[in-house]
């Protein structure tokens, strides 16, 4: 049975049993305490915590999840995966154990031709919590499981909580017997390799108090409403139903694994080492594809780092398999999309952008790998030069932390150079990093952000009606006031308050469009200046501002008015963003997908996926195309339609956005058509003019253009025109000849600078003969100290020191110290000859003495070294310190 069919059967079964089918949530968790959704119940946490009233009593879902805490075990075991899907059914105060247990058993054991999974009942075992007699009775008497196949476990195995005070309860788990060839008889208590967990039923019926660990917290009492939370791993069930040994051999992962084997010329089953690498590649490519499709982009922090780390581990394992540095991820991304698209059709829709992001990261890591290899080689050379055979653990950690080198890459490279690696120090530093991350996570782990105040308002009063598409002002009623996080009956002058209205013309920040500003006023009694509007939970607009005068009271009727000039300017920017998006896609192809935007008054930025930068001519073409379109004064139309119909007509959807069944489409003829909830102009001619201000990189595979719109663009062009006129006047050249004239001036200037530098260097070196003639004796050592003119570069100081040293020969120890202030900070160079080194004088030691006097540091080779500091007034003292050090040594 294919994975997609398993998911379909699961949802169909529970839908027939009164459950609402809830689509998988985006992998980017709404819960701010989580980077990514890591369990099937995460989207339902607000309901279990009582922060939101669920819109249904029963629900079922197939939830996408990513968990990387055991990422180093991926590929090595049969059960670890970074991406997995949780089949779940949930009850919110509706049914409890008496229904949840039979539901699970019936679905697992009902014959395939009757819609079930057809598992033989005699190969299923059950575990319950130690004192959960109720669950055991249901299993025995209602379901008919023999008592000898029911086992009891303690809190560590069969009790669930979120790890913080809140809901908790006993669990009952269903295990599958893989057969005697996999281990000993006796159920899960005897051998968990033979008996693998299939389904976990959580009976959420108690409230727990504070404590750490899985079993050292108090149970405070029963919850007012008992809930059901179950989870069954789709991939694990697929291994059973498809008759394979591990999740990597199921249909979806095996398709990617086979493609990786084909590309690298390695057969699955050849060796344990290559099998592990193939399994890592298959798992990680599926995970990366799903993450990118849900809007995650590679970066060096948070969820972006998760994606980057996964892709780099993939590349590393591909290089181990293939023995080359070819690029393979494009083909493997295609395999991952093909494997998962039957369940998640958006993968095909998003394919161009997914490829663009992953391809760019692969090329970027190739450059990073070269830089990291250089760092490794230097560290290895230092180790061998010092006679060592062990590569530093701290260097290995730096390679991992800075360059994303997996430790196995460092181990292999070290072995190639005859070195071992101080793994103990590396592991200790990794552990310290993980401990720090855990402490940071624990400090903010609240189970979920406290949205209960907002949720209560939404539940009691309903969603905020948005009037702003047609009205810029209107009457509304205050549903709630929040000051300092607490609901209050009134807000007074000077209070920083949040206001919830039943209806509003204010646009809440979303989709890249900044929020409206304006005022809320109560006739003759109070005014609040609104400077921000947000949606902390879907459907509820929260107006934030400072009470200017009087007071506002819950249930007051207010007049809401936005700043219309600001709204018009922001709307122009938003419409310009759509035009720029279309022009970029025309220039670069469909892979130029939107990766973020910000629309503010008169100015915008637009992020898009691209493998390379746009050159000046391409930017000019995009700008010309946008202005040509807007000059046609195309009407801007918006309408509501179904999501499927919108996508069918070619409307573009933004990654990471969540869309309902009904969506709003904004179109500008056939030139631009996007799903968008923002505000726009009535016709493109209202934009006036769009001026692109530049293009830059904001991350791997993501570029950014910025632009001015309307009056702001006109002002920008006016300033630039004035500047060009002044340049033309000063250079006495027509405007069209300015580039050539400026190039000529710059060429002359660079030539003059080089000549000045040559003369300055010659002047410095002219002093060499006199300095050598004036060398002073300190014992057997001949010493020269000299302060060169300010502005002398470090390179010229080095040349001077070496010239003087050469003139003094090798018959006696020689030390030369010269210093200057090139650019506000002092620099000193010390050179000694071989005789001086033999006598125990090292240039690096002498420079260190001088640099400390200058308030800095330095170093170099034994024969010549350079240092500097922060105190230009201490140069003479630094030279005397060198002289004193030599006197003491001789």
Mean pLDDT over each residue of the chain, to the nearest integer? 88
Helix 351-385 to helix 393-403 angle (10° resolution) is: 160
Count of domains observed in the chain: 5
Whether residues 319 and 278 fall in one domain: yes
Enter the tokens of residue 436.
């720090």
Enter the tokens of residue 185.
């008889």
User: 600: Cβ–Cβ under 8 A, 6 or more apart, which residues?
Assistant: 514, 570, 573
Report whether 680 belongs to an annotated binding site.
yes
Task: Specify the higher pLDDT residue, 514 or 650.
Answer: 514
> For residue 736, is it within any domain?
no
Q: By the 8 A CB rule, do 100 and 203 touch?
A: yes
> For residue 728, is it within any domain?
no
Looking at residue 602, its pLDDT comes to: 93
Cα separation, 842 vs 865, in Å, equals 9
Looking at residue 504, its pLDDT comes to: 97
Enter the tokens of residue 461.
């009063």
Q: How far is CA 667 from CA 74, 646, 664, 675, 886, in A?
A: 45, 11, 10, 9, 81
How many residues does the structure list for the chain?
A: 890
Nearest alpha-carbon partner for 400 in 428, 362, 358, 441: 428
Task: Specify the higher pLDDT residue, 435 or 11.
Answer: 11
Report whether 65 belongs to an annotated binding site.
no
Whether residues 231 and 178 fall in one domain: yes
Whether residues 178 and 196 fall in one domain: yes
Whether residues 207 and 336 fall in one domain: no
Looking at residue 115, its pLDDT comes to: 92
What phi-psi label fits residue 875: left (phi over 0), alpha (psi between -120 and 50 degrees) or beta? alpha
> For residue 552, is it within any domain?
yes
Cα separation, 364 vs 11, in Å, equals 41
Mean pLDDT of 7-32: 92
Q: How confident is the model at residue 441 (pLDDT cuts 50, 70, 90)?
A: very low
Nearest alpha-carbon partner for 780 in 759, 808, 743, 807: 808
The strands making up 672-675's β-sheet, listed across from edge to edge, are 637-642, 662-668, 672-675
Mean pLDDT of 866-889: 89
Whether residues 858 and 879 fall in one domain: yes
Cα separation, 579 vs 584, in Å, equals 9
Residue 133: CB atoms within 10 A of its CB come to: 11
Mean pLDDT of 218-225: 86
Task: Specify the higher pLDDT residue, 185 or 857.
Answer: 185
Enter the tokens of residue 211.
């404590």
Report whether 676 belongs to an annotated binding site.
yes
- Tokens 């009850």 sit at which residue? 91
Please say which residue of 562, 596, 631 terminates a domain: 562
> For residue 591, is it within any domain?
yes
Looking at residue 716, its pLDDT comes to: 87
> For residue 753, is it within any domain?
no
Report whether 786 belongs to an annotated binding site.
no
Whether residues 262 and 242 fall in one domain: no
- Which range is most confident: 102-111, 274-283, 350-359? 102-111
Whether residues 581 and 552 fall in one domain: no
Looking at residue 657, its pLDDT comes to: 64
Whether residues 664 and 548 fall in one domain: no
Check residue 142 and report its DSSP letter.
I
Q: Has residue 368 got a pLDDT over 60?
A: yes
Q: Has residue 445 got a pLDDT over 60?
A: no
Where is 231: in which H helix or E strand? strand 219-233
Q: What percent of the chain has pLDDT over 90?
A: 52
Q: How confident is the model at residue 437 (pLDDT cuts 50, 70, 90)?
A: low
Q: Residue 44: exposed, middle, or buried by beta-carbon count in 10 A (0-12, 13-18, 19+)?
A: buried
> For residue 319, is it within any domain?
yes
For the segment 500-547, what is each residue's pLDDT rounded down to a tens digit? 999 999 999 998 899 999 999 998 789 999 999 999 888 899 999 999
Range in 403-412, 448-457, 541-550 the model is least confident about: 448-457
* CATH code of 518's domain: 2.40.30.130
* CATH code of 43's domain: 3.30.930.10
Q: By the 8 A CB rule, do 237 and 243 touch?
A: no
Please say which residue of 667, 695, 719 terminates a domain: 719
Q: Tell me if residue 630 falls in helix, strand or coil.
A: helix
> For residue 16, is it within any domain?
yes
Mean pLDDT of 478-482: 92
- Using alpha carbons only, how large is the chain's radius of gyration in Å? 35
Cα separation, 606 vs 695, in Å, equals 10
Looking at residue 655, its pLDDT comes to: 59
Residue 555: CB atoms within 10 A of its CB come to: 9
- Which range is most confident: 160-164, 322-326, 394-398, 553-557? 553-557
Supply the DSSP string of 136-158, one letter for each residue.
Answer: HHIIIIII---GGGEEEE-HHHH
For the segment 777-808, what is each residue's pLDDT rounded down to a tens digit? 988 899 999 998 888 888 888 889 999 999 99
Q: Has residue 578 got a pLDDT over 80?
A: yes
Whether residues 439 and 499 fall in one domain: no
Whether residues 713 and 788 fall in one domain: no
Full domain range(s) for residue 863: 761-889
Looking at residue 179, its pLDDT comes to: 93
- Tokens 């502005």 sit at which residue? 791
* CATH code of 863's domain: 3.10.310.40
Q: Has residue 481 got a pLDDT over 60?
A: yes
Please, what is the Cα angle at 55 between 49 and 58, to 5 degrees?
Answer: 80
Looking at residue 447, its pLDDT comes to: 37
> For residue 702, is it within any domain?
yes
Q: Has residue 180 got a pLDDT over 80?
A: yes
Whether residues 152 and 112 fall in one domain: yes
Please say which residue of 702, 719, 736 terminates a domain: 719
Cα separation, 771 vs 762, in Å, equals 15
Looking at residue 304, its pLDDT comes to: 86
Mean pLDDT of 765-787: 88
For the segment 113-136, what is each residue's pLDDT rounded down to a tens digit? 999 999 999 999 999 999 999 999
Looking at residue 434, its pLDDT comes to: 65
Task: Specify the higher pLDDT residue, 656 or 524.
Answer: 524
Whether residues 289 and 413 fall in one domain: yes
Cα separation, 604 vs 607, in Å, equals 10
* CATH code of 629's domain: 3.30.980.10
For the segment 831-866, what is each residue's pLDDT rounded down to a tens digit? 999 999 998 899 988 998 898 899 887 777 889 999
């Amino acid at each position: 049975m294919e994975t997609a069919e398993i998911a379909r059967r699961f949802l169909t079964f529970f839908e027939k049993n009164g459950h609402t089918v809830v689509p998988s949530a985006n992998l980017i968790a709404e819960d701010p305490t989580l980077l990514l959704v890591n369990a099937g119940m995460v989207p339902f946490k607000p309901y279990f915590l009582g922060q939101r009233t669920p819109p249904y009593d029963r629900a079922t879902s197939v939830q996408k999840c990513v968990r990387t805490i055991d990422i180093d075990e991926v590929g090595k075991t049969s059960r670890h995966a970074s991406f997995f899907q949780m089949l779940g059914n949930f009850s919110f105060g509706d049914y409890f154990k008496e229904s949840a247990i039979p539901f699970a058993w019936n679905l697992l054991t009902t014959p395939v031709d009757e819609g079930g999974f057809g598992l033989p009942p005699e190969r299923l075992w059950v575990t319950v919590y130690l004192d959960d007699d109720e669950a055991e009775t249901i299993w025995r008497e209602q379901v008919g499981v023999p008592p000898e196949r029911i086992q009891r476990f303690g809190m560590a195995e069969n009790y669930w909580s979120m790890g913080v005070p809140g809901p908790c309860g006993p669990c009952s788990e269903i295990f599958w017997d893989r057969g005697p060839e996999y281990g000993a008889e006796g159920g899960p208590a005897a051998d968990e390799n033979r008996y693998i967990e299939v389904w976990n039923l959580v009976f959420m019926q108690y409230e727990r108090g504070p404590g750490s660990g899985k079993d050292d917290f108090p149970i405070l009492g029963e919850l007012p409403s008992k809930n059901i939370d179950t989870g069954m791993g789709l991939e694990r069930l697929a291994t059973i139903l498809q008759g394979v040994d591990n999740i990597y051999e199921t249909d979806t992962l095996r398709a990617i694994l086979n493609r990786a084997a084909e590309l690298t010329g390695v057969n699955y089953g050849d060796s344990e080492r290559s099998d592990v690498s193939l399994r890592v590649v298959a798992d990680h490519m599926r995970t990366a594809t799903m993450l990118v499709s849900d809007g995650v982009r590679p970066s060096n922090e948070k969820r972006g780092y998760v994606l980057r780390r996964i892709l780099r581990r993939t590349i590393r394992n591909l290089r181990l398999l293939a023995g080359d540095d070819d690029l393979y991820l494009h083909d493997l991304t295609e395999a991952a999309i093909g494997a998962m698209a039957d369940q998640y059709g958006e993968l095909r829709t998003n394919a161009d952008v997914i490829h663009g992001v992953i391809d760019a990261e692969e090329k970027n890591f190739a450059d990073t790998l070269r830089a990291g290899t250089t760092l490794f080689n230097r560290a290895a050379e230092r180790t061998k030069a010092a006679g060592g055979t062990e590569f530093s653990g701290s260097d290995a950690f730096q390679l991992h932390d800075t360059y994303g080198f997996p430790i196995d890459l460092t181990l292999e490279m070290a072995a190639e150079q005859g070195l071992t690696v101080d793994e103990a120090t590396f592991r200790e530093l990794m552990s310290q990093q993980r401990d720090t991350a855990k402490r940071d996570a624990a400090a903010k782990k609240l189970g979920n952000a406290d949205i209960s105040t907002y949720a209560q308002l939404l539940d009691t009063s309903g969603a905020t009606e948005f009037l702003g598409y047609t009205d810029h002002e209107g009457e509304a009623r205050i549903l709630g006031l929040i000051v300092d996080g607490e609901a209050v009956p009134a807000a007074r002058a000077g209070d920083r308050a949040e206001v919830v209205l039943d209806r509003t013309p204010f646009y809440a920040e979303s989709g890249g469009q900044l929020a409206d500003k304006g005022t809320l006023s109560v006739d003759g009694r109070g005014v609040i200046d609104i400077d921000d509007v947000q949606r902390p939970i879907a459907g509820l607009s929260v107006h934030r501002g400072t009470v200017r005068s009087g007071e506002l009271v819950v249930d007051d009727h207010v007049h809401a008015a936005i700043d219309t000039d600001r709204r018009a300017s922001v709307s122009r920017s938003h419409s310009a963003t759509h035009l720029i998006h279309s022009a970029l896609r025309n220039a670069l192809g469909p892979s130029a997908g939107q990766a973020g935007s910000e629309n503010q008054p008169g100015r915008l930025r637009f992020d898009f996926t691209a493998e390379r930068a746009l050159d000046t001519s391409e930017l000019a073409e995009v700008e010309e195309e946008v202005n040509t379109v807007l000059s046609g004064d195309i009407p801007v139309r918006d309408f509501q339609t179904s999501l499927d119909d919108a996508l069918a007509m070619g409307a573009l959807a933004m990654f990471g956005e969540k869309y309902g069944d009904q969506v709003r489409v904004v179109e500008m003829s056939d030139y631009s058509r996007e799903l968008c909830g923002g505000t726009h102009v009535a016709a493109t001619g209202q934009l006036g003019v769009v001026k692109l201000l530049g293009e830059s990189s904001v991350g791997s595979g993501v570029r950014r253009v910025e632009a001015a719109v309307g009056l702001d663009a006109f002002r920008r062009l006016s300033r630039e025109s004035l500047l060009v006129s002044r340049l033309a006047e000063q250079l006495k050249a027509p405007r069209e000849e300015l580039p050539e004239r400026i190039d000529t001036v710059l060429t002359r200037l660079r030539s003059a600078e080089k000549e000045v530098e040559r003369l300055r260097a010659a002047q410095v070196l002219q002093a060499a003969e006199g300095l050598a003639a004036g060398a002073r004796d300190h014992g057997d050592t001949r010493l020269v100290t000299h302060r060169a003119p300010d502005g002398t570069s470090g390179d010229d100081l080095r040349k001077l020191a070496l010239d003087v040293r050469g003139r003094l020969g090798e018959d006696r120890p020689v030390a030369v110290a010269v210093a200057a202030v090139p650019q506000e900070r002092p620099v000193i160079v010390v050179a000694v000859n071989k005789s001086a080194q033999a006598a125990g004088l090292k240039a690096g030691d002498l420079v260190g003495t001088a640099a400390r006097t200058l308030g800095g540091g330095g170093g170099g080779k034994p024969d010549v070294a350079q240092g500097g500091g922060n105190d230009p007034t201490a140069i003479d003292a630094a030279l005397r310190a060198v002289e004193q050090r030599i006197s003491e040594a001789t």
